[in-house]
Amino acid sequence: MLPKFKNKQLLATALSHRSAFNETDSGTSALESYERLEFLGDAVLELATTEWLYKKYATEPEGILTAYRSSLVKTTTLAETARELKLGEQMYMSRGEEATGGRKNIGLLADVFEAVIGALYLDQGFVAVEKFLHQHLFPKFEEIKKNKLYRDHKSFYQEVIQAESLPTPVYEVAEAIGPDHDKVFTVNVLVNGKITGSGTGKSKQIAQQAAARQALEKFEEER
């Protein structure tokens, strides 16, 4: 559940897709879309997450902490949190954007989550953001750490494949859907010309990691 905002305009802005301003009946009271708040929220989220990890894992080296942080602030984790908070259902957008799956778009959900963080920071300050993240995002790290989901799956998969005396995995973009500012990529990873995994993400790099993770899971199941 979202905290109660003192300045409701900030929350309305965080939940407003740019397409909402193309229709007079979208319901938004905002004067601009969420992008600027997302820009702010991205920085606030990174700082809050970095500080939490730094204090919680005092003996871990910088490289591991960086991997931990990446796993918490990546698109899929933020989108999952946004779904739990029902941010997609609360967004203001055009009927056209909604018809094409805008309310369920993982990239958009992650962006709006960051925008909400930015709005909360402006409305109530950094401590309120930390409290919100402790309630809704940071608890997810227990499962991430337990299952080692913070690993660089692409590098690890390459090591596994090379240990089997097989050629280096090749990554190919199978599909790219959406406008330039909000594309979702599907990437296949191939070994010896055979698809061993597939993944999606807001960037090619994220999709490659997802594909490598699926390939690793299949590899481990087949052993």
Decide if 152 is catalytic. no
Distance, in Å, from the CA atom of 10 to the CA atom of 103, rounded to the nearest integer, reads: 20
CA triplet 90, 96, 102: central angle to 5 degrees?
A: 45
Distance, in Å, from the CA atom of 97 to the CA atom of 85, rounded to the nearest integer, reads: 20
Q: Which residue has the tokens 């597939």?
A: 198
> Which is it for strands 194-201 and 184-191: parallel, antiparallel or unpaired?
antiparallel
Is the Cβ–Cβ distance between 92 and 28 less than 8 Å? yes
Catalytic residue among 97, 111, 114, 123: 114
Distance, in Å, from the CA atom of 211 to the CA atom of 221, rounded to the nearest integer, reads: 15
- According to DSSP H, which parts of 57-99 are helical? 62-73, 75-84, 87-90, 95-99
Distance, in Å, from the CA atom of 201 to the CA atom of 216, rounded to the nearest integer, reads: 17
Catalytic residue among 38, 42, 97, 123: 42
Q: Which residues are catalytic?
A: 42, 114
